[in-house]
Structure 1
Amino acid sequence: MGIRGLIVMAAAAALPLGLQAGPAVAADLKGKAPVAAAEPQLCKETTEVNPDIFGFSSGTDVATPGSLALGIEYGGGFGVRSGRAMSTDGKVQLSYGLVPCVEIGPAVVFGNSYEETNDGVARTESDALGASIEAKFKLLGRAQTGFGMTFVVEPGWARVKERTRFANGIANETSNHDETSLAMKLLFDTVLVPDRVFFALNFVHEAAWIDVTPQEEESAFITSAALTLQASENFFVGVEGSYRQAYAGAWFDHAQGDGWYIGPTFFWALSENVALSGALAVQVSGNEKSSEDYIAMGDLNLVDFSQYDAKLKLGISF
């Protein structure tokens, strides 16, 4: 699958664990802790903001101690320079408020992708199944500093099966390999207009180690910003932009290319405990790089990234 599939799987989305948009509580999806627990003053919030209102970006709020939520996420990317290609990925995550200001979230991840040449001679498909565990540490709260800050680390592993089919009589090929991933994120958010306008800024580093011979390493660094408007008591709409950089190594070793994205987001609180959110990101500009020199191949980078990325998530709090 490569880093394009892992970015969607290990991405960055926190579970819908809370929203208090004003006096009304119909949009409050905060998981109910069995016993109220006092949180450290530095990260305690007086007004909760659901982290899923920002699309691919995430807010800084974490689950209260003892609260539990389930997130079911599905998305993918499509659009390449030549031929046909598409990837779809899913994530089922259970999130738990472990201690004040700390949330833990084990998850099962899966994905499928295919690439086909223009002439239809070769088609490569891959399936992946694995697991990850996300740990979120809220460091600063909006109530005290005016902005929230949360650090996230998420290691993961997946087993990938690849199949290459040829239409010209050449024997088909099948191979299996493991992929280990590590995502690290620094999240910021703030309320620009109380109960009305919200802003989030994320910095994400995604690395993958692909167990083939010789071993491959890939990574991406993503900077994203999202602006969200509360259109009604239970519905939010917004816009999100991101700048993505691809590298051949796991730690910014060799720059491969970049891409700029923009697209709409939405969040809909279906009930007190159920919410649906989604986002679409469209690449509007990008550069591709070969082994040494950049090659002018239009205005988009469709080698390292997809032209379109989409995400849909269902969140349930208990």
Structure 2
Amino acid sequence: MGIRGTAILMAAAAMLPVTAQAADLRAKAPVAAAEPQLCKEVTEVNPDIFGFSSGTDVATPGSLALGLEYGGAFGTRSGSLTGSEGKVQLSFGFVPCIELGPSISFGMEHATTAFSPEDAKSEAIGGAIEAKFKLLGRAQAGVGMTLVFEPGWGRVRDRNHIFDDGGNLYRDSNSHDETSLASKILFDTVLIPDRLFLALNFVHEAAWVDVTPSEEESTFITSAALTLQASENFFIGVEGSYRHAYAGAWFDEAQGDAWFVGPTFLWSISENVALSGALAVQVAGSEKSSEDYLGMGDINLADFNQYEAKLKLGISF
């Protein structure tokens, strides 16, 4: 074979263990932790396509999103009522299947009474943190399921202007704190891939008002939304909800109820920016005063507004 051939064979034999070891190292290289299969989705569905209702998808670990939201409420039994709220929320994926979303909100309300010379205004500022826990994914179970808890706190300032019979103006102003907790169970599913989507929400909203004497109130909401993907970047749908008001925080004393229905939309302006909105119109309801329901029409304007609107700009990073 000769000296040169023997040297080549010896060099090749010396390299074999190194090459095999390198292959083993590559095979045993650490793999990034995968998202748990129970909540992992093959196809994402923007949770904002359902209007006031919400889908079950949560942010993936490390992702970040900003939401700028406007909410409006209009209509009362007599006189006029206009309420507006602005909300800024930053949401991020904490760990797989969990999303956290701290927020701050600003609100104002102006009400006048047709049969009383009273003009009432209120202003509020507050904050909350929303925690979402996704338990089931559509990819595995066919239906997505997410639990949501959102504790909050707000400072409210009330101002009343009252004119007496002589035309004299009296002003009354006071401030108080309000603590709230929203608890939600969210479901959604894809009826027709890339075409038709359905969401079902169960929501309990409780509030504790720090006045003398202290007050507690709550609302239980059941809502369903059907959304059609009309084009690649545009969704349109319809949403209906049933709402029941309570005097206590935990279903203590039932008050009035109401049915709402209205349109929804979402426009994907770009890959990372989306504009969504919804309008809810009260179509039926009943009021309760003390122990007797009042025959004041076919809708409930004592516990709920006649119209509610929502507009949200979502930006992901």
TM-score above 0.5:
yes
Which has the higher relative contact order, 1 or 2, with Cα contacts under 8 A spaced 6 or more apart?
Answer: 1
Give the gaps of 5 or more residues in structure 1: 1-34
Partners of 1:246 and 1:286 lie apart in 2 by: 11
Q: Secondary structure, in 3 states, of the residue corresponding to 1:53?
A: helix
Query: What's the CA shift for 1:167?
Result: 2.5
Partners of 2:71 and 2:37 lie apart in 1 by: 37
Contact 1:79 1:302 in 2 (8 A): yes
Q: Secondary structure, in 3 states, of the residue corresponding to 1:296?
A: coil
Q: Secondary structure, in 3 states, of the residue corresponding to 2:285?
A: strand
Contact 1:37 1:65 in 2 (8 A): no
Distance 1:195 1:37, change over 3 A: farther
After TM superposition, the runs of 4+ consecutive aligned structure 1 residues lying more than 2 A away are: none
1:63-82 matches, within 5 Å, as 63-82=59-78
Contact 2:163 2:170 in 1 (8 A): no
Partners of 2:289 and 2:116 lie apart in 1 by: 24
Query: What's the CA shift for 1:119?
Result: 4.5
Amino acid of the structure 1 residue aligned with 2:316? S
Query: What's the CA shift for 1:36?
Result: 7.0
Distance 1:229 1:124, change over 3 A: same
Aligned identity (percent) is 72
Partners of 1:76 and 1:164 lie apart in 2 by: 21
Partners of 1:283 and 1:274 lie apart in 2 by: 31
Aligned to 2:271: 272
Aligned to 1:317: 316
Aligned to 2:288: 289
Amino acid of the structure 2 residue aligned with 1:144? Q
Partners of 2:124 and 2:291 lie apart in 1 by: 31
Distance 1:36 1:109, change over 3 A: farther
Q: Normalising by structure 2, report the TM-score.
A: 0.88
Partners of 2:281 and 2:33 lie apart in 1 by: 42
Structure with higher Rg: it is: 2
State how many pairs are aligned.
Answer: 284
Amino acid of the structure 2 residue aligned with 1:126? S
Give the gaps of 5 or more residues in structure 2: 1-30
Aligned to 2:183: 184
Instruction: Tell me, yes or no, if structure 1 residue 165 matches structure 2 residue 161.
Output: yes
Aligned to 2:122: 126
Query: What's the CA shift for 1:170?
Result: 4.6
Partners of 2:33 and 2:242 lie apart in 1 by: 39
The two structures, once aligned, show a CA RMSD in angstroms of 1.1
Higher mean C-alpha displacement, 297-306 vs 159-168: 159-168
Per-residue CA deviations over 1:109-148 (Å, capped at 9, x if unaligned) read 1110011111561111000001000000000000110000
Aligned to 1:91: 87
Distance 1:37 1:275, change over 3 A: farther
Partners of 1:159 and 1:261 lie apart in 2 by: 29
Contact 1:183 1:204 in 2 (8 A): yes
Aligned to 2:230: 231
Per-residue CA deviations over 1:224-256 (Å, capped at 9, x if unaligned) read 000000000000000000000000000001111
Distance 1:119 1:292, change over 3 A: closer
